[in-house]
Amino acid sequence: MDIPSEDRYIFKLVLTGNEKVGKTTLRKRFMGVGFAKDYKKTIGVDLSYMKFKRDNEEHDLVIWDIAGDASFKKNRAMYYKGTNGVMLVIDVTSNGDLDTFVKPWVDDYIQQEIANTMQLAIIFNKIDLKDARQIFTAEKKAIIDYIRERLPRDESFEIGSFETSALTGEGVRDAFEWLIEKMVQNHDA
Protein backbone atom coordinates (compact mmCIF):
# COMPACT_ATOMS: atom_id res chain seq x y z
CA MET A 1 0.00 0.00 0.00
CA ASP A 2 1.27 3.44 -0.98
CA ILE A 3 1.50 5.89 1.88
CA PRO A 4 0.11 9.28 0.92
CA SER A 5 2.36 12.26 1.64
CA GLU A 6 1.41 14.17 4.73
CA ASP A 7 0.59 17.53 3.15
CA ARG A 8 -2.19 16.09 1.02
CA TYR A 9 -5.75 15.92 2.19
CA ILE A 10 -7.02 12.38 2.59
CA PHE A 11 -10.74 11.92 2.10
CA LYS A 12 -12.37 9.43 4.41
CA LEU A 13 -15.38 7.35 3.40
CA VAL A 14 -16.92 4.98 5.92
CA LEU A 15 -19.15 2.02 5.17
CA THR A 16 -22.03 1.43 7.56
CA GLY A 17 -24.89 -1.02 7.65
CA ASN A 18 -25.72 -4.29 9.35
CA GLU A 19 -23.72 -7.44 8.98
CA LYS A 20 -23.99 -9.24 5.61
CA VAL A 21 -25.65 -6.41 3.73
CA GLY A 22 -22.71 -6.36 1.30
CA LYS A 23 -20.34 -3.61 2.52
CA THR A 24 -17.14 -5.56 1.89
CA THR A 25 -18.30 -6.89 -1.45
CA LEU A 26 -19.19 -3.36 -2.60
CA ARG A 27 -15.80 -2.05 -1.47
CA LYS A 28 -13.94 -4.80 -3.25
CA ARG A 29 -16.03 -4.33 -6.38
CA PHE A 30 -15.14 -0.63 -6.43
CA MET A 31 -11.50 -0.67 -5.29
CA GLY A 32 -10.01 -4.10 -5.68
CA VAL A 33 -9.04 -6.29 -2.79
CA GLY A 34 -6.00 -4.54 -1.32
CA PHE A 35 -6.18 -3.59 2.31
CA ALA A 36 -3.96 -3.05 5.34
CA LYS A 37 -4.26 -6.27 7.29
CA ASP A 38 -2.85 -4.98 10.57
CA TYR A 39 -5.77 -2.67 11.15
CA LYS A 40 -8.15 -5.55 10.83
CA LYS A 41 -6.50 -7.27 13.77
CA THR A 42 -6.04 -4.22 15.97
CA ILE A 43 -9.12 -2.10 15.42
CA GLY A 44 -11.50 -4.39 13.58
CA VAL A 45 -11.43 -2.37 10.38
CA ASP A 46 -10.30 -2.96 6.81
CA LEU A 47 -8.74 0.10 5.21
CA SER A 48 -8.51 0.47 1.45
CA TYR A 49 -6.57 3.29 -0.11
CA MET A 50 -6.74 4.76 -3.60
CA LYS A 51 -5.78 7.86 -5.50
CA PHE A 52 -8.36 9.58 -7.66
CA LYS A 53 -8.25 12.49 -10.09
CA ARG A 54 -10.66 15.37 -10.28
CA ASP A 55 -10.12 18.55 -12.33
CA ASN A 56 -6.52 17.44 -12.89
CA GLU A 57 -5.86 17.36 -9.17
CA GLU A 58 -4.93 14.14 -7.50
CA HIS A 59 -6.58 13.26 -4.21
CA ASP A 60 -6.37 10.39 -1.76
CA LEU A 61 -9.27 8.33 -0.54
CA VAL A 62 -9.40 5.85 2.30
CA ILE A 63 -12.42 3.60 2.68
CA TRP A 64 -13.08 2.24 6.16
CA ASP A 65 -14.90 -1.05 6.31
CA ILE A 66 -16.04 -2.74 9.53
CA ALA A 67 -14.21 -6.07 9.80
CA GLY A 68 -15.02 -7.43 13.25
CA ASP A 69 -18.11 -6.64 15.19
CA ALA A 70 -16.72 -6.75 18.74
CA SER A 71 -13.70 -4.52 18.21
CA PHE A 72 -15.73 -2.20 16.01
CA LYS A 73 -17.94 -1.38 18.95
CA LYS A 74 -14.92 -0.45 21.06
CA ASN A 75 -13.41 1.66 18.30
CA ARG A 76 -16.53 3.44 17.14
CA ALA A 77 -15.17 6.93 17.80
CA MET A 78 -12.04 6.20 15.77
CA TYR A 79 -14.14 4.74 12.98
CA TYR A 80 -16.16 7.90 12.50
CA LYS A 81 -13.59 10.59 13.35
CA GLY A 82 -12.92 12.93 10.47
CA THR A 83 -15.37 11.25 8.11
CA ASN A 84 -16.22 13.07 4.89
CA GLY A 85 -18.69 10.59 3.44
CA VAL A 86 -20.88 7.78 4.68
CA MET A 87 -22.55 4.94 2.86
CA LEU A 88 -25.45 3.27 4.62
CA VAL A 89 -25.89 -0.10 2.96
CA ILE A 90 -29.28 -1.80 3.08
CA ASP A 91 -29.95 -5.31 1.75
CA VAL A 92 -33.07 -5.17 -0.44
CA THR A 93 -33.88 -8.77 0.41
CA SER A 94 -34.34 -7.74 4.07
CA ASN A 95 -37.57 -6.18 5.28
CA GLY A 96 -35.77 -2.85 5.77
CA ASP A 97 -37.08 -2.49 9.33
CA LEU A 98 -36.10 1.00 10.49
CA ASP A 99 -35.25 0.04 14.07
CA THR A 100 -33.04 -2.83 12.93
CA PHE A 101 -31.30 -1.60 9.80
CA VAL A 102 -31.41 2.20 9.96
CA LYS A 103 -31.82 3.65 13.45
CA PRO A 104 -28.62 2.22 15.00
CA TRP A 105 -26.53 3.82 12.25
CA VAL A 106 -28.26 7.18 12.35
CA ASP A 107 -27.79 7.13 16.13
CA ASP A 108 -24.08 6.60 15.49
CA TYR A 109 -23.80 9.52 13.05
CA ILE A 110 -25.42 11.79 15.61
CA GLN A 111 -23.55 10.51 18.68
CA GLN A 112 -20.20 10.55 16.89
CA GLU A 113 -20.88 14.11 15.71
CA ILE A 114 -20.50 13.59 11.99
CA ALA A 115 -24.20 14.10 11.22
CA ASN A 116 -23.69 17.84 10.71
CA THR A 117 -20.91 17.64 8.17
CA MET A 118 -20.96 14.26 6.43
CA GLN A 119 -22.14 13.53 2.92
CA LEU A 120 -24.46 10.54 2.75
CA ALA A 121 -25.48 7.90 0.24
CA ILE A 122 -28.00 5.14 0.92
CA ILE A 123 -27.08 2.01 -0.98
CA PHE A 124 -29.86 -0.45 -1.72
CA ASN A 125 -27.78 -3.53 -2.47
CA LYS A 126 -28.39 -7.03 -3.86
CA ILE A 127 -30.86 -5.92 -6.55
CA ASP A 128 -29.82 -8.99 -8.57
CA LEU A 129 -31.84 -11.12 -6.11
CA LYS A 130 -35.10 -10.15 -7.79
CA ASP A 131 -37.27 -12.94 -6.39
CA ALA A 132 -36.20 -12.32 -2.79
CA ARG A 133 -36.44 -8.53 -2.98
CA GLN A 134 -38.63 -6.88 -0.34
CA ILE A 135 -37.56 -3.24 -0.58
CA PHE A 136 -39.11 -1.20 -3.39
CA THR A 137 -40.03 2.46 -3.93
CA ALA A 138 -42.29 2.87 -0.87
CA GLU A 139 -39.87 1.15 1.51
CA LYS A 140 -36.97 3.17 0.11
CA LYS A 141 -38.90 6.38 0.65
CA ALA A 142 -39.72 5.39 4.24
CA ILE A 143 -36.02 4.82 4.94
CA ILE A 144 -34.86 8.07 3.37
CA ASP A 145 -37.66 10.10 5.00
CA TYR A 146 -36.75 8.67 8.40
CA ILE A 147 -33.08 9.58 7.97
CA ARG A 148 -33.84 13.07 6.70
CA GLU A 149 -36.12 13.71 9.64
CA ARG A 150 -33.50 12.70 12.18
CA LEU A 151 -30.44 14.39 10.70
CA PRO A 152 -29.71 17.98 11.78
CA ARG A 153 -29.52 19.22 8.18
CA ASP A 154 -31.59 21.68 6.17
CA GLU A 155 -33.76 20.85 3.17
CA SER A 156 -30.96 21.51 0.70
CA PHE A 157 -29.00 18.54 2.06
CA GLU A 158 -28.97 15.91 -0.64
CA ILE A 159 -29.13 12.28 0.42
CA GLY A 160 -27.92 10.00 -2.35
CA SER A 161 -30.00 6.93 -3.11
CA PHE A 162 -28.58 4.16 -5.26
CA GLU A 163 -29.57 0.65 -6.25
CA THR A 164 -26.62 -1.69 -6.58
CA SER A 165 -25.55 -5.25 -7.06
CA ALA A 166 -22.09 -5.88 -5.67
CA LEU A 167 -22.35 -9.25 -7.38
CA THR A 168 -22.85 -7.99 -10.95
CA GLY A 169 -21.34 -4.55 -10.32
CA GLU A 170 -24.50 -2.75 -11.44
CA GLY A 171 -24.71 0.76 -9.99
CA VAL A 172 -21.61 0.40 -7.80
CA ARG A 173 -19.34 2.85 -9.58
CA ASP A 174 -22.13 5.45 -9.87
CA ALA A 175 -22.76 5.30 -6.14
CA PHE A 176 -19.13 5.68 -5.09
CA GLU A 177 -18.45 8.38 -7.69
CA TRP A 178 -21.48 10.40 -6.59
CA LEU A 179 -20.43 10.28 -2.94
CA ILE A 180 -16.78 11.08 -3.69
CA GLU A 181 -17.86 14.07 -5.79
CA LYS A 182 -20.01 15.33 -2.91
CA MET A 183 -17.14 14.86 -0.46
CA VAL A 184 -14.76 16.87 -2.63
CA GLN A 185 -17.30 19.63 -3.32
CA ASN A 186 -18.04 19.95 0.36
CA HIS A 187 -14.36 20.11 1.25
CA ASP A 188 -13.68 22.75 -1.44
CA ALA A 189 -16.62 24.89 -0.34
Ligand X SMILES: Nc1nc2c(ncn2[C@@H]2O[C@H](COP(=O)(O)OP(=O)(O)O)[C@@H](O)[C@H]2O)c(=O)[nH]1
Q: Which stretch binds ligand X (CB under 6 A): 37-45, 109-117, 144-152, 165-173?
A: 165-173
Q: Is 23 in the site for ligand X (CB under 6 A)?
A: yes
Q: Is 24 in the site for Mg ion (CB under 5 A)?
A: yes
Q: Which CB atom, from 24 or from 83, has the smaller least distance to ligand X?
A: 24
* Phi and psi, residue 53, nearest 5°: -110, 140
Q: Is 167 in the site for ligand X (CB under 6 A)?
A: yes
Query: Which partner, ligand X, Mg ion, none, binds residue 94 by CB below 5 to 8 Å per kind?
Result: none
14: left (phi over 0), alpha (psi -120 to 50) or beta: beta
Site for ligand X in 123-142 (CB under 6 A): 125-126, 128-129
Comparing CA positions, the residue from 65, 79, 76, 69 lying closest to residue 32 is 65
d(CA 148, CA 50): 30
- The footprint of ligand X (CB under 6 A) covers 17, 19-25, 125-126, 128-129, 165-167
Interface positions with Mg ion (CB under 5 A): 23-24
